[in-house]
C-alpha cells in the first residue's frame, strides 16, 4: 500500500533517514520543517539533507518551510495534500539547552505537537507516529526497560516535554476513538546512511557521544569528555543502547505500515533499541577500530541527570511491529565515520 505521509522535522537526523526509507518503500513524502537546526535554509527550496535524499532515492520530496506552531501554515499543507499518516519528528532535542531555555522547548515540543494534532483532526487525519525517547523512563527501576516501566520523573525540560506529550497523546486517544497513535521510544540513535551522504550534523558542540567522538576523530575537536568513570558498570562509564539510524528509520516504516493497515486503535508504545548496552569506552574503542584514528578522551565529572545504565527490552516491537534492529556497533561506527570523513564539516561543506 502506497501512502502519503507527512513528515515533520524531515530535514533533521532521524527525519531525513526516515524519509529516505519511506521513499524506498514506495511511499510519497511531504515534509515540513522550520529549518531551525538544518543546513540549507538559505535557498530554502530544499534543505541539503533532503536534496541528498532525493539524489539517493531518485524520488521527489515535497517540502514546506513551515513551523508546526503555525496553525495556518499547517492548514495550507493539509489542504494541498491528502495525507494518510503523520510521522512527527519536529522538536528541539538538546538536554543542556533545554535547561537554559525551557519555555522554548515546551513551546516547540508541546505546543507545536498540540497545534499539529488539532490541524490533523480538522483535516480528518488520525494516524500518528510520535518521536519519543527512552528518557521518559527516568531513572531505570529495572533493566532491561520494557514498555510497562513507569514513566515520568524526567530530570530536564527536554525529557519532560517528551513525557508530557505522550500523556497528551494518551488522553487524546482516550477521548476520541478515531485516533491511532504509535509512540516510538528511541534509545540512542547513531550511525548514518551507508552512502555517507546523510548523517547527524549537530550545531555547535555535540550533546551526544557518537558525533562527539567522530568530530574528535576527524580533528574538529581535540578531545572527548567522558562524564564520569565511577558508575556501577563494568568499566565505570555509562552504558547505553545505541541503535543504528537506518534500523530506527525502518522501525518507523513498520509503524506507519501498521497504522495504515488499521490493525491498531488508541495509543501504543514501542521501544526502538537493540537490547544491547555498550559503555562509553566500548564505543570509543569500536570507533577507533572502525576509523583507524585515535580518539583522545579525558574523564571529567558526571553530568547531572545521567543514569548509569539504560537498555531496551525489544521484544514488543519484534512481536507487534515485526521489526528488529539488524546493525551492530561495528556498523554504527563505520557508517558514522564514513559520513564524518566524507563531510568533515557536516552539510555546511556541501558538495
Residues 6+ apart with CB under 8 A from 186: 14, 131, 132, 133, 134, 243, 248, 272, 273
- Least Cβ distance, residue 177 to its own copies (angstroms): 12
- Least Cβ distance, residue 99 to its own copies (angstroms): 6
Which CB sits closer to its own copies, 55 or 176?
A: 176
Residues 6+ apart with CB under 8 A from 101: none
Q: Is the Cα dihedral 295, 197, 327, 4 positive or negative?
A: positive
Which CB sits closer to its own copies, 123 or 156?
A: 156
- Least Cβ distance, residue 333 to its own copies (angstroms): 35
CA 237 to mean position of chain CA atoms: 23
Annotated catalytic residue 158? yes
Residues 6+ apart with CB under 8 A from 350: 39, 40, 48
Contact 168, 114 (CB under 8 A): yes
Contact 179, 173 (CB under 8 A): yes
What's the CA gap between 109 and 113, in Å, rounded? Answer: 6
C-alpha cell at 196: 555517507
Which CB sits closer to its own copies, 36 or 101?
A: 101
What's the CA gap between 25 and 42, in Å, rounded? Answer: 30
Please report which helix (H) or strand (E) contains residue 50, including its range.
Answer: helix 48-57
Active-site residue, selected from the candidate residues 137, 158, 163, 186: 158
Surface-to-core class of residue 319, CB atoms within 10 Å of its CB (0-12 exposed, 13-18 middle, 19+ buried): exposed
- Least Cβ distance, residue 171 to its own copies (angstroms): 4
- Least Cβ distance, residue 227 to its own copies (angstroms): 20
Residue (of 161, 108, 132) closest to 252 by Cα position: 132
Rg over alpha carbons for the chain, rounded to the nearest Å, is 19
Which CB sits closer to its own copies, 101 or 143?
A: 101
Which CB sits closer to its own copies, 99 or 308?
A: 99
- Least Cβ distance, residue 268 to its own copies (angstroms): 18
Which CB sits closer to its own copies, 102 or 236?
A: 102
Residue (of 155, 172, 188) closest to 310 by Cα position: 188
State the residues that interact with its own copies by CB under 8 A: 99-103, 106-107, 110-111, 114-115, 117-118, 121, 152-153, 156-157, 160, 164, 167-168, 171-172, 174-175
- Least Cβ distance, residue 155 to its own copies (angstroms): 10
Backbone dihedral angles phi then psi of residue 67, each to the nearest 5 degrees: -90, 135
Residue indicated by cell numbers 541539503: 48
Which CB sits closer to its own copies, 36 or 110?
A: 110
- Residues marked as catalytic: 158
Amino acid at each position: 500500500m502506497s501512502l502519503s505521509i507527512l513528515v515533520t522535522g524531515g530535514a533533521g537526523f532521524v527525519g531525513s533517514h526516515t524519509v529516505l526509507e519511506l521513499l524506498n518503500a514506495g511511499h510519497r513524502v511531504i515534509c515540513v520543517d522550520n529549518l531551525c537546526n538544518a543546513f540549507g535554509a538559505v535557498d530554502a527550496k530544499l534543505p541539503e539533507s533532503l536534496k541528498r535524499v532525493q539524489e539517493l532515492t531518485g524520488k521527489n520530496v515535497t517540502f514546506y518551510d513551515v513551523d508546526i506552531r503555525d496553525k495556518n501554515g499547517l492548514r495550507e499543507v493539509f489542504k494541498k495534500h491528502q495525507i494518510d499518516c503523520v510521522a512527527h519528528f519536529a522538536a528541539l532535542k538538546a538536554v543542556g539547552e533545554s535547561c537554559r531555555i525551557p519555555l522554548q522547548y515546551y513551546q516547540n515540543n508541546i505546543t507545536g505537537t498540540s497545534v499539529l494534532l488539532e490541524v490533523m483532526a480538522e483535516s480528518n487525519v488520525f494516524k500518528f507516529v510520535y518521536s519519543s525517547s527512552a528518557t521518559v523512563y527516568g531513572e531505570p527501576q529495572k533493566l532491561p526497560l520494557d514498555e510497562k516501566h513507569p514513566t515520568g520523573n524526567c530530570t530536564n525540560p527536554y525529557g519532560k516535554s517528551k513525557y508530557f506529550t505522550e500523556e497528551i497523546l494518551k488522553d487524546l486517544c482516550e477521548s476520541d476513538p478515531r485516533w491511532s497513535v504509535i509512540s516510538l521510544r528511541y534509545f540512542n540513535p547513531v550511525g548514518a546512511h551507508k552512502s555517507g551522504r546523510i548523517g547527524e550534523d549537530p550545531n555547535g558542540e555535540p550533546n551526544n557521544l557518537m558525533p562527539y567522538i567522530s568530530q574528535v576523530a576527524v580533528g574538529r575537536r581535540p578531545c572527548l569528555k567522558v562524564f564520569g568513570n565511577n558508575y556501577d558498570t563494568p568499566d565505570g562509564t555509562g552504558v547505553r543502547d545505541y541503535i543504528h539510524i537506518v534500523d530506527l528509520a525502518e522501525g518507523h516504516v513498520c509503524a506507519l505500515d501498521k497504522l495504515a493497515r488499521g490493525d491498531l486503535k488508541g495509543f501504543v508504545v514501542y521501544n526502538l533499541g537493540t537490547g544491547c548496552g555498550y559503555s562509553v569506552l566500548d564505543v570509543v574503542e569500536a570507533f577507533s577500530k572502525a576509523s583507524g584514528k585515535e580518539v583522545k578522551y579525558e574523564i571529567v565529572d558526571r553530568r547531572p541527570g545521567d543514569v548509569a545504565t539504560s537498555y531496551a527490552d525489544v521484544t514488543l516491537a519484534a512481536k507487534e511491529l515485526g521489526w528488529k534492529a539488524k546493525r551492530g556497533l561495528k556498523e554504527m561506527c563505520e557508517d558514522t565515520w564514513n559520513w564524518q570523513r566524507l563531510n568533515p564539516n557536516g552539510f555546511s561543506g556541501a558538495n
